[in-house]
Structure 1
């Protein structure tokens, strides 16, 4: 991401990365990508015209790859990455991280992964925070058995988290169905990178049957 926006001491707005510094222009492209232009933007890649043309357009705008919004006062809020953008079969653009992070606000949820590219609506694969679920079950004197993810009380916890998250996003981004996976994502399993970033393609391929079930296939 271009580092030129910054929250100044006298103009801090939580949830944003701040306003552009002097000499830097920031705007949002039609597809939601954050563009930046100014003297601090790099002139291009050394001896790589193709890569330069991909990053910088003819008007000098740097295509950061981030998705974002500018509020009425010019503060920039980053909403996701363009390469992770989901486009439904109806042509609706969805930024998956927005609703995923909303679901993950629940103490009982570890990860939420939105699915919906070239699909009619959004669904989600969800993993549990094992420690929180175990502690909650003990407080409630519940025996979750060998498959806690299918227990009705656990399903109700996740459904509540999804319902709450859906109130914070636009209609196309709302999760219509979800599946709770029996294990969390890990680097060892190949579903996370060593730096704990989600490998979306791996997750979608590995859990293709579960995803198909969410769409009634």
Structure 2
């Protein structure tokens, strides 16, 4: 799998590239700013990019802006945005950007080689990844009445794991449930959220968006 990395901190950038290479990824570019990343993607699109949310020139949302741009120009390129802080509103913006595969992960997760590699593979495959710390913060905030209030405790647990980008198989393993049971919970929560029958990948994204907004 071909991956590009963008981070203005040279040591961190090279560290990410080395970790990914050691995990079997083909790191085809490692650059220090968002504009360079966009140019390299335009020249030779990879399967996924890993980009810091804050880079030159303003160190604000360059990585997020690059993700939005790629959603329009290269929708098949998965984008994993790394952040040093838990910022739920940025995670929501990223998912709403329309990218085929999008993820928001805290930089501290990079130390877990398996978790980083799994997140890159999931966004490259078109999935959605949200850092568990962001999901936990969203779960804890107060909300007005919403369709999510009709979910059972188990359905909510399944949706929280979906928001992290977990597949049905991963949810089975996490909750010690059978595949058929998880499928039943997923169908049920789709129904309660008013998501009509259609492509399950799209309904998963819509369900995650409903969860993040409320």
TM surpasses 0.5: no
Per the normalisation by structure 1, the TM-score is: 0.28
Larger Rg computed on CA atoms: 1
Query: By percentage of residues, which structure has more strand?
Result: 1
Query: By percentage of residues, which structure has more helix?
Result: 2
